[in-house]
Structure 1
């Protein structure tokens, strides 16, 4: 029954559109606005990935509708993104453009399974500096990838964006570079100035139209997008033979991980921009996975929730799924009505759009916040960014998390402590034979050895009391160290009393053997006064049992 209830929560419902009668006007305006903004980005990302402009356009249309209907966010807008382009570029270079659709289907299935297994909330475990370092690295790669188009040269053969850009520039001649560079500068200038004239002006569309018209009238010798289909392709099953799957399973896992991470981060950010309702992380994964599968059937790219387009959607008044659907309908209109003019767009103009988009991905204020916070966060941010650019996106996230975890464990270990305290109340003869230790913070594998050394080396006492009521974190290693402390002291004839074991730690301590190591089951106490009184009785008996000194 629970399984059926969970499964139904991952499917569309009429409740998804309960607010449409109230918000439909804002949704229509937002959908049209996002559609206009998405057009140049979809074309540019398709070209930049190597799959082609048509693949980018198809992805924006199909993924926009499918993820809009099945996803877990009311305002998420999906399609091709810069991060996905970074991953797809090397795949296209090695396996050809046809591999993109196959990878989209395979990655989509993986993401669907992740949603069904309730893995949606795992993105919350990714530290903020890792996310921002990842974003900075992606922005740098996107910018570098556009340099060949911006300068009118062929892309280098290397998989590394920086090396490929340098290889391309090595063949540069000033005569070839003049017009592409001019187009990039004009596009960037218009995109910067348009919002200052009016916030709703679509600077990228205006810039591309202007540059394309000039290029056509002047018959400039620059590379163009080229022919586009005048209708959507019919869906077909990609080649999913065992041989193909075996070759592409690695890239598919990378694409799936990236799609899941980026989509969930985008949905989480969107939920904070306005009162758009909560998002369901698991349903979002299922929706994005279905969108990738559908996109692959139409020859498109893997689908990803796009934070830039999603933010525009929210700020333009989008509040329900209708906005994302309208955005796709606008793009469908372009396919059936305007592929001729679109095919004439210079690649340098698209490069200008992506270069400025890459620059805008990086928030100077955010970078300053991270760099000005702690040294460990700064290191995590820089390491993640560098590895993203120089090695691999997923590897960068993995290493970033590992580095962040190392610093977190070090901080946690430093917060743990073992302190020797004075016995409460008035001093009684024999109290010098009692050592009272208080454990604070966390006793886990990162701090356990220090506690073991501190307590086990105690000498010249008959009783040791260990206070555990202030212990917040305890793992199996920490519990084992307590066992070793008890056993070590008891072997030396020192009685160990334990006070204040929390209920949540009792089962672990029992299972590991701490309580069995005590000399008597009554040596476990709930309050300090009783433990001290019992310790003093032990000292008195020990003193009484000592032989009288020989008379001189």
Structure 2
């Protein structure tokens, strides 16, 4: 008869883990807490939603065209994604929709894979974002340094401005051409007998938007400028390009027809879109929370999930991937928004506008939208921030400039990767310079033989970037006994511990006795597993106090001296 199978008892931490997982999943969904600020501030939120909706209308149309799609894709995205992200996102005041950064990354995708691929990429990127939120990856934004964020934003501003040159001249840019090259080619080949008209409209819109921003900041300058430009173009009979027909209703949602074999080339672009959506949305939410603490805290994982659901929904309706929009979110906060009702109102207002005024919107000159976007780029980067960044250090300035260059001449994701890598390199170099080894006097009255004892204090951070440099200082010791004082070490990584163990082995092989004093509790595990502690001649050569370590060293020197005399 076989022995009964024994069931392994469950880990005592399993219930706790299950509770944490349940709380995490529950925190990703809308709840009663979302409605509390609505009850208190619904009047202000309705007004804020109308305000941001008026601001968002021309931007949505412009970003749709700038992405290589059309104006309808921009307005559909603003409505659908704006509504879904408002309900499921992790910020009470985030306004989502098409953005300049997303338009920049979508333009080459449209050129390479066609407009139909954007719908598939939107859904794929949305699924990636939902998975990222479920895996608690929403806090990725904290790892992006300040110079990278500013350089990334400045680079996007330059690209958006360059992308408007063909629209401002009613020219045609080759699909897939870099923005700078396309702008130069269009300017060189422009028919100036006609191009002066759209260019005049663009310049006039920029001037009017900036004037209203300065002297009447509460007036929606972009909308006023676009309306006036459209009216003048109609009355004067200007021969310039217009938006064209817009749908008066949202299209019916539908799953795109997908060939599984055609998905592989879209995986890379989908991951790039997802990364950009997460970064831009989390940055926007963080900026909003900093503008007014009364808007509530940001839930990063929920924000990522909400943006993922928004992009999926936008794709199903034929739109494009969406992100949190920093400019529109800032307008929302300044207008007094406190709850999600404001963002929902903004989406509903846009839906009402296309239902009533789609025909009128179709008459808007493309050059007027170019002026709106050029005006937007002028305020994406604050001069005071740039001046402070350029003054703070040469490494920060170099990271800022390199990130801009990579954004303009390569692509957005590469720019973030290179910028973060460069910032990390400079940070590690600076950190390694704080690590030092210095020889100190032994405590108490001097005794015979003290000159044969080296008390070496290692301070700073013992990690892979500094290990080799300071190990040479330790290995060069000519003493009979070396006391390594490690209590001043703030950081010890496996590489640093391993190299220190190798130096201890070298010293012991030369007949030098090594004592370790003050190994901090948080460093014991890595020191033990890396072999550093095992490199000591005896386990008793570890001490907690300097007095005990020095006393043992002096006894050792005295004993060695007596043995030599005997």
Q: Aligned-residue CA RMSD in angstroms?
A: 1.0
Task: Give the structure 2 partner of residue 477 of structure 1.
Answer: 495
Distance in 1 separating the partners of 2:28 and 2:262: 30
Task: Give the structure 1 partner of residue 241 of structure 2.
Answer: 223
Secondary structure of the structure 1 residue equivalent to 2:378: helix
Q: Does 1:454 align with 2:458?
A: no
Pick aligned residue for 1:11 from 4, 29, 35: 29
Distance in 2 separating the partners of 1:474 and 1:438: 14
Task: Give the structure 2 partner of residue 37 of structure 1.
Answer: 55
Aligned length: 547
Task: Give the structure 2 partner of residue 415 of structure 1.
Answer: 434
- Identify the range of structure 1 (375-384 vs 473-482) with the bigger mean alpha-carbon deviation: 473-482
Pick aligned residue for 1:337 from 331, 348, 356: 356
What does the per-residue CA deviation read over 1:184-237, in whole Å, with 9 as the maximum and x for residues that have no partner?
111112111223443221111111111111111222100000001111100000
Pick aligned residue for 2:106 from 88, 92, 103: 88
Distance in 2 separating the partners of 1:170 and 1:273: 44
- Identify the range of structure 1 (264-273 vs 480-489) with the bigger mean alpha-carbon deviation: 480-489
Task: Give the structure 2 partner of residue 105 of structure 1.
Answer: 123
Distance in 1 separating the partners of 2:118 and 2:243: 19
Secondary structure of the structure 2 residue equivalent to 1:324: helix
Q: Does 1:517 align with 2:522?
A: no
Task: Give the structure 2 partner of residue 324 of structure 1.
Answer: 343
Distance in 1 separating the partners of 2:512 and 2:303: 59
1:526-537 matched pairs, under 5 angstroms:
526-537=544-555
2:107–2:176 Cα contact (<8 Å) kept: no
1:158–1:164 Cα contact (<8 Å) kept: no
Distance in 2 separating the partners of 1:432 and 1:253: 63
Secondary structure of the structure 2 residue equivalent to 1:115: helix
2:145–2:423 Cα contact (<8 Å) kept: yes
Instruction: Give the drift of 1:36.
Output: 0.5
1:146–1:355 Cα contact (<8 Å) kept: yes
Instruction: Give the drift of 1:158.
Output: 4.6
Task: Give the structure 2 partner of residue 490 of structure 1.
Answer: 508
Distance in 1 separating the partners of 2:433 and 2:153: 31
- Identify the range of structure 1 (449-458 vs 431-440) with the bigger mean alpha-carbon deviation: 449-458
Distance in 2 separating the partners of 1:152 and 1:379: 37
TM-score (norm 2): 0.95
Task: Give the structure 2 partner of residue 50 of structure 1.
Answer: 68
Task: Give the structure 1 partner of residue 331 of structure 2.
Answer: 312
1:221-370 matched pairs, under 5 angstroms:
221-274=239-292, 275-370=294-389
Distance in 2 separating the partners of 1:345 and 1:412: 55
Distance in 2 separating the partners of 1:181 and 1:322: 39
2:108–2:175 Cα contact (<8 Å) kept: no
What does the per-residue CA deviation read over 1:517-537, in whole Å, with 9 as the maximum and x for residues that have no partner?
212221100110111111000
2:112–2:176 Cα contact (<8 Å) kept: no
TM-score (norm 1): 0.98
Q: Does 1:140 align with 2:158?
A: yes
Instruction: Give the drift of 1:386.
Output: 0.6
Distance in 2 separating the partners of 1:196 and 1:403: 38
Instruction: Give the drift of 1:6.
Output: 1.2
Instruction: Give the drift of 1:14.
Output: 1.8
Distance in 1 separating the partners of 2:177 and 2:544: 64
Pick aligned residue for 1:181 from 199, 202, 219: 199
Distance in 2 separating the partners of 1:241 and 1:324: 36
What does the per-residue CA deviation read over 1:286-342, in whole Å, with 9 as the maximum and x for residues that have no partner?
000000000000000101000000000000011100000000011001111000000
Secondary structure of the structure 2 residue equivalent to 1:469: coil
Distance in 2 separating the partners of 1:433 and 1:241: 77
Q: Does 1:543 align with 2:553?
A: no
Q: Which runs of 5+ in 2 are unaligned?
A: 1-17
Distance in 2 separating the partners of 1:29 and 1:331: 14
- Identify the range of structure 1 (112-121 vs 152-161) with the bigger mean alpha-carbon deviation: 152-161
Secondary structure of the structure 2 residue equivalent to 1:465: strand
Q: Does 1:193 align with 2:192?
A: no
Distance in 1 separating the partners of 2:400 and 2:31: 40
What does the per-residue CA deviation read over 1:396-424, in whole Å, with 9 as the maximum and x for residues that have no partner?
00000000000000001000011111111
Distance in 2 separating the partners of 1:372 and 1:433: 48
Q: Does 1:388 align with 2:378?
A: no
Q: Does 1:463 align with 2:453?
A: no
2:111–2:176 Cα contact (<8 Å) kept: no
Distance in 1 separating the partners of 2:119 and 2:527: 54
1:156–1:165 Cα contact (<8 Å) kept: no
Distance in 2 separating the partners of 1:28 and 1:59: 21
